[in-house]
Amino acid sequence: MSAAISPPVGLTEPENEVNRRPSFKSRALHSPTFMSGAILTTTIVALALLAPVIGRYSPVAQDLLHPLAGPSGAHWLGTDELGRDVWSRLLYAGRTDLQVGVLAVLFPFAFGVSIGTVCGYFGGRIDSVVMRIVDVVLAFPFYVLIIALVFVVGVGTHGIYIAFGLTDWVIYARTTRSGTMVARSLDWVAAAEGGGLSRMRVLWRHILPNTITQAVVYVMSDIVLVILAVVTLGYLGLGIQPPAPDWGSMISDGQSFIQTNQWLAAIPGLAVVLTGIGLSLLGDGLADVMRPE
């Protein structure tokens, strides 16, 4: 009797393909937020990287015979008060600002995530000391602290890196700490610890992969924040120093001609806004795509 030995129905059912989660790539391709952010950001980064090719002029070459010219075939976005090509300056400025924005978040990201993981996992005295430091840093208005630090350690790019290195890690530390505290109490972490794995291994292989998502998503917003700060410092004359082009100092220079040549101040600002939209969309998209089911 063959019917008697056939296994129960549930066991023979083939694995249901429909319920399996689509791959990361497929989820990314199907997220309109992620895709629009990725396209916008890639375009802006590509334009910045290609500055020497498509810029056509040196960003610092002056042409004092043709200052404040309107858009033309020779100068697509016209020239500024020293006859410098605005299109070239815009591209090179983007190159500098994006580069500083990305480099400035590297140390805060690495340091903040590490210290947040240690604090969240071990707790105790280190945790309370670090969290008090975080409270103190957050008590300062962001811009006030950055401006004061840049003034103290010296204006320019290295001042920006030091100022962000000293302050920006606190956000990463705080979010990673709370993520780690949640992960620590989960069953599979207890199982890994009970199985005799070393603490380093538990932290590195079982906790960090689950907590890092939030930090990675925040990196995108953080780059926007840093670029805004760099541009603001540039506007105040404390950021990237002339003659190197920077969106902030371009706006500041253009402000003097706001009555007659509005585009001089308007265009670099638009570039900042577009960059912000691109990176924010990318961050939102990443959050959607990387969210655990």
Min separation Cβ 133 and other proteins, Å: 7
Cβ proximity to other proteins, 131 vs 197, nearer residue:
131
Q: Read out DSSP for 174-234?
A: HHHHHHHHHHHTSHHHHHHHHTT--HHHIIIIIIHHHHHHHHHHHHHHHHHHHHHHHHHHH
Min separation Cβ 160 and other proteins, Å: 14
Min separation Cβ 122 and other proteins, Å: 21
253, burial (CB in 10 Å: exposed 0-12, middle 13-18, buried 19+): buried
Q: Are 234 and 252 in contact (CB under 8 A)?
A: yes
Dig out the tokens for 31 from the structure: 């997220």
Dig out the tokens for 99 from the structure: 């580069």
Distance CA 108, CA 213 (A): 16
Dig out the tokens for 109 from the structure: 């990201």
Distance CA 233, CA 175 (A): 27
Q: Which amino acid is at 202?
A: V
**Cα within 13 Å of Cα(218), Cβ side:** 21
Q: Where do contacts with other proteins occur on this chain (CB under 8 A)?
A: 132-133, 135-149, 151-154, 221, 224, 227-228, 231-232, 235-236, 238, 248, 251, 255, 258-259, 262, 265-266, 269, 272-277, 279-281
Min separation Cβ 21 and other proteins, Å: 22
Min separation Cβ 186 and other proteins, Å: 23
Min separation Cβ 97 and other proteins, Å: 11
Cβ proximity to other proteins, 202 vs 251, nearer residue:
251
Cβ proximity to other proteins, 138 vs 290, nearer residue:
138
Cβ proximity to other proteins, 47 vs 197, nearer residue:
47
Min separation Cβ 182 and other proteins, Å: 18
Cβ proximity to other proteins, 113 vs 224, nearer residue:
224
Q: Are 269 and 251 in contact (CB under 8 A)?
A: yes
Dig out the tokens for 160 from the structure: 């920006």
Cβ proximity to other proteins, 115 vs 279, nearer residue:
279
Distance CA 57, CA 69 (A): 15
Cβ proximity to other proteins, 82 vs 274, nearer residue:
274
Dig out the tokens for 141 from the structure: 């208005």
